[in-house]
């Protein structure tokens, strides 16, 4: 009888333990925030492995991780996307992961450096996932966090654009290839950046505006290709121009394009131009 009692008690403990484990797994699967955290941790580990152990051969894995980033975002928010699907929300997560992964190749191959970069990547990606979720919900109803989500998105967009531009200019390719690569990420990133202020359902609803801004940045890139400066300075300058034209577009969409705001962006362009000229080696 005592043995049976102990056996039943042991069975109850195991049953209770497995029940709690199942509830925890169910909570992780169902809770959106937990999904974000799990996805970010997995992608961060994947990025670190690709860069630390595979080196330059990990470039293919970086592209795969970039597609997985958008796919995991879809899995996390697919319930909110039912009947309210937007392709635009997957653009920045893809290029964010791609930018960090490729930029890894330009930094010193030190253990502590890559840990710091991976940490920044994880924090930024989690913030980006939250922002994209807010955009999805805001397309249905107005929420107070929309302004904060736009700020986060713009900041990560600018960082991604700088990293990608730095990589492209560091390759020292011929002019046609350089322009092609810059066009491949400039157009979709601008498309996403305009969408976060319009939240329109159609993918190419502002196609003329997006194409116009893309052409402007391509023209700047052509001029920079001939400029005798370092890739970092060139990327900094074109990113400053990108920030200015995008900022002016945003205030125009918000109907706040006042004289004072225009002058603020003119000052930004002037400062980054002076930095480019001053730090360029003319010898």
Structural contact between residues 136 and 81, judged by C-beta atoms closer than 8 angstroms: yes
Predicted pLDDT at 176: 93
Distance CA 47, CA 68 (A): 11
Tell me the C-alpha distance between 81 and 33, whole Å. 16
- pLDDT tens-digit profile of 30-87? 577 888 899 999 999 988 887 776 666 678 888 999 999 999 999 888 887 776 777 8
Q: Is residue 237 part of a domain?
A: yes
140 — pLDDT class (breaks 50, 70, 90): low
Question: How much is the pLDDT for 20?
Answer: 47
Q: Is residue 270 part of a domain?
A: yes
Q: What number is the average pLDDT over the span 5-19?
A: 53
- Is 218 part of a structural domain of the chain? yes
For residue 144, count other CB atoms closer than 10 A to its CB.
8
Q: Which residue has the higher pLDDT, 241 or 16?
A: 241
Task: Report the C-alpha gap between 178 and 155 in whole angstroms.
Answer: 24
User: Mean per-residue pLDDT for 100-117?
Assistant: 82
Predicted local distance difference test score (pLDDT) of residue 15: 55
User: How high is the pLDDT of residue 18?
Assistant: 45
Please count the structural domains in the chain: 1
Q: Which of 69-78, 98-107, 195-204, 263-272 has the lowest mean pLDDT?
A: 195-204
3-state helix, strand, coil in the chain (%, to 5): 85, 0, 15
Place of tokens 């975002």: 73
pLDDT at site 28: 42
Mean pLDDT of 140-149: 75
187 within a domain of the structure (yes/no): yes
Instruction: State yes or no: pLDDT of 147 exceeds 90.
Output: no
What is the pLDDT at residue 91? 93
Please tell me the distance from the alpha carbon of residue 40 to that of residue 62, in angstroms, as a whole number: 15
Of the segments 130-134, 137-141, 188-192, which one has the largest average pLDDT value? 188-192
On whether residue 7 sits in a domain, the answer given is no
Smallest CA-to-CA distance from 241 within 215, 205, 211 is with 215
Q: How far apart are the first and last CA of the chain?
A: 95
Tokens of 227: 């400029």
Instruction: Note down the domain range covering 139.
Output: 16-279
216-268: pLDDT as tens digits: 999 999 999 998 889 999 999 999 999 999 988 888 887 777 788 888 888 98
Q: What pLDDT, on the 0 to 100 scale, is given for residue 51?
A: 74
Residue 162 lies in a domain: yes
CA neighbor of 99 nearest in space, from 160, 181, 189: 160
- Give the pLDDT of residue 158: 95
Q: Is residue 65 part of a domain?
A: yes
Tokens representing 190 are 């601008």
- Say yes or no to pLDDT of 17 above 50: no
Residue 184 lies in a domain: yes
């Amino acid at each position: 009888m005592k043995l049976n009692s102990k056996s039943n008690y042991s069975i109850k403990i195991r049953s209770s333990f497995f029940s709690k484990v199942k509830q925890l797994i169910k909570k992780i699967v169902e809770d959106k925030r937990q999904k974000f955290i799990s996805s970010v941790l997995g992608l961060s580990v994947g990025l670190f492995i690709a860069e630390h152990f595979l080196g330059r051969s990990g470039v293919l894995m970086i592209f795969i991780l970039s597609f997985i980033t958008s796919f995991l975002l879809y899995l996390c928010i697919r319930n909110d996307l039912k009947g309210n699907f937007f392709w635009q929300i997957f653009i920045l997560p893809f290029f964010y992961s791609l930018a960090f992964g490729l930029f890894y190749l330009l930094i010193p191959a030190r253990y502590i450096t890559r840990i710091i970069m991976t940490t920044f990547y994880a924090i930024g990606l989690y913030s980006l996932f939250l922002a994209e979720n807010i955009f999805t919900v805001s397309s249905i109803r107005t929420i107070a966090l929309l302004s904060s989500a736009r700020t986060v998105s713009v900041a990560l967009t600018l960082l991604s654009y700088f990293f990608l531009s730095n990589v492209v200019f560091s390759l020292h390719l011929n002019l046609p290839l350089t322009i092609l690569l810059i066009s491949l990420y400039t157009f979709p990133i601008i498309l996403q950046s305009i969408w976060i202020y319009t939240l329109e359902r159609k993918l190419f609803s502002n196609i003329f505006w997006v194409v116009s801004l893309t052409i402007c940045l391509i023209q700047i890139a052509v001029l920079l290709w001939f400029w005798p400066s370092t890739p970092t300075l060139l990327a900094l300058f074109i990113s400053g121009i990108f920030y200015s034209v995008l900022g002016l577009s945003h205030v125009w969409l918000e109907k706040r394009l006042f004289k004072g705001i225009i002058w603020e962006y003119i000052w930004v362009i002037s400062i980054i131009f002076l930095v480019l000229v001053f730090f360029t080696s003319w010898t």
